[in-house]
Structure 1
């Protein structure tokens, strides 16, 4: 959103806090006009980029800057620059999968940088650019968020209107903690569809270890199935009242799963920090393309938020100074953690593991979590392998690379 990856590596860890704005009706109209204008400008730039197949920021700036300012009345210079940067970011990772130009939603979030907004910390107000003039709007938030905005380096901020409430999501940079050596090994976490997470300590998440009304994984599946049936019924009905209920229910399941993933990742990182261990998870990138699922299971598979859980665990571990590793997921549920025997026959049932060589038996997800923990130890040893130079292998390889040349060869 607001802090580049290189800046985060140099200065610290990125985080985002949310502030609530309280504009007057006139100011709210000006902010709404700014959002519409910026999204319209981004759509214009996106169509130009797609038409000319120009996606690099410098070339796109040369192509689209004067054009977008001429076609979108009231667009400021810096707002045009930010629109071009948004388009570049939109095409950066998804260009190959797109079949047409990217269209920005009229009321989507709009990024503001330091030239478009400024904070008055004493008065608790923020000055925001609009097409007519700047507006000075009071803001509020949690005490810890207000303190963070006052004391930490700030990046960009996203201006969002959510159900009539204006929000400012500000990117901040936290100090970079020192990652401690995992003296106690690694805490392995197996992610799945039936059980969202099972640790190598035999803890099933969500479950009694987590607070809140969610009783377990069966409760989560029941709630999600109920929401699916409710959405399908209302969409089939198609009346204005049904659409009104759909709007009211929109995002509820997403918020529930996001909250669960936050709770799971927080529990895992705290347990690893308490016991002096690192955290190891499976590298599940591309799993949806590799796994063949029955048509009745596709909705469950594609609604599996494993990437979000990995991302939450990664940044929470970085904040706490806990080592984090992604390991190879191949055969973690078919291998025996005691004797190392790998066979499909070790899984007589979906949730059960019995080693055909040594006889070790147990819950399949717990066995997989133990294998993940073992691979975490092995992977950490390889990455931090000592060398005659005194540097770990990963750092040695990084520092041995020649610096990039400013010119051509």
Structure 2
């Protein structure tokens, strides 16, 4: 049975805060020039990496550093270093599936590190590198985020211009709490498409356990289908007014799903913390390549945000000191948690489970969550 523990750095936990910048018109022009220049440099590095098949950071640095500085006028030394590291990271996970060089969007987010920015916390300003010199820009944010910037170590940041608003997504390092022993076992969570998440306690998420306007998974699917029909209708129309509406609607579904995943992961981690348990999820990496879906179900499968839910649950568990493991998903919905009998005949219907041997019956997703909880407890005992 494959068990993977949460992979985070030992010295601290990264967290991201959003700061809103208020540059003057002249400063905004300098920041826009920096974004265009750094993205152009990253595109040049990406083409060189693809041409020479050199994707490691050190190899790519030797290959592209002087070349990109010669081709892109006004590019600073550290900006070139960050462009190389950015391209290496872009190819790290998707190199085998790419058929052409990775092209960076001209208005994409630009990474800044400690050599490209510096904070003046008393004045609530940040100094940022631009091709025409550094600019000192005031920043604002939520009170808790500003307090975190004042007291926590600052890492890298992403400079973003979103619809004319300049934002700085800043990485901070939180102190790492000790992971508590899960004396009460594990909260197993089964992730799916029909039911986004079902806990081993029988709670279906999102649902009555979570406050807010979304009352259940059927409502989520209805919203996503409506958004899809609306986008398709507007794209088919193709007028300037339709494109304007598409721009306004862009990202709305993504934000809705991110909010739902935040709510679900928060509920699971709080429940585990309250009951002295850990959290166990299925390791679903690569499932889109393993599953053969009907053509009418492919959009639903590829729009499944399971990786985001795993990531949110992992970092929330690490913040709370809750044990977190990923378990092998094989046969979790076909195995009986009482007698251990595994058979496809145990699933007479999609949402129904009836054990052939002992007669245990229940909802298939709930049975899978119970199996995940048991595998999490067994895996934690093995690796500790």
Whether these two folds match at TM > 0.5 is yes
Range 74-83 or range 115-124, more displaced: 74-83
Deviations 1:202-255 (A, max 9, x none): 100000111111010000000000001111111111111111111111110000
* Partner SS state of residue 9, structure 1: coil
Q: Distance in 2 between matches of 1:321 and 1:58?
A: 35
Quote how far apart the aligned CAs of 1:272 are: 0.2
Q: Distance in 2 between matches of 1:42 and 1:244?
A: 29
| Residue 94 of structure 2 corresponds to residue 91 of structure 1 | no
Q: Distance in 2 between matches of 1:213 and 1:8?
A: 34
Q: Distance in 2 between matches of 1:54 and 1:339?
A: 52
User: What is the aligned partner in structure 2 of residue 137 from structure 1?
Assistant: 137
* Preserved contact between residue 325 and residue 376 of structure 1 (Cα < 8 Å): yes
* Partner SS state of residue 11, structure 1: coil
User: What is the aligned partner in structure 2 of residue 284 from structure 1?
Assistant: 284
Greater relative contact order, per chain length (Cα 8 Å cut-off, separation 6+): 2
* Partner SS state of residue 87, structure 1: helix
User: What is the aligned partner in structure 1 of residue 104 from structure 2?
Assistant: 104
* Partner SS state of residue 332, structure 1: coil
Seen in structure 2, the aligned counterparts of structure 1 residues 59 and 380 have a Cα distance that, compared at 3 Å, is: closer
RMSD between aligned residues = 1.2
Q: Distance in 1 between matches of 2:327 and 2:11?
A: 27
User: What is the aligned partner in structure 2 of residue 234 from structure 1?
Assistant: 234
| Residue 177 of structure 2 corresponds to residue 177 of structure 1 | yes
Report the TM-score when normalising by structure 2.
0.96
User: What is the aligned partner in structure 2 of residue 391 from structure 1?
Assistant: none
* Superposition pairs of residues 9-408 of structure 1, within 5 angstroms: 9-384=9-384
* Partner SS state of residue 176, structure 1: coil
Deviations 1:164-202 (A, max 9, x none): 110001111111110000000011101110000010111
User: What is the aligned partner in structure 2 of residue 398 from structure 1?
Assistant: none
Unaligned runs of 5+ in 1: 1-6, 385-409
Deviations 1:8-29 (A, max 9, x none): 6231111111100001111111
User: What is the aligned partner in structure 1 of residue 4 from structure 2?
Assistant: none
Unaligned runs of 5+ in 2: 1-6
* Partner SS state of residue 187, structure 2: strand
Q: Distance in 2 between matches of 1:56 and 1:345?
A: 48
Q: Distance in 2 between matches of 1:101 and 1:185?
A: 47
Report the TM-score when normalising by structure 1.
0.90
Quote how far apart the aligned CAs of 1:271 are: 0.1
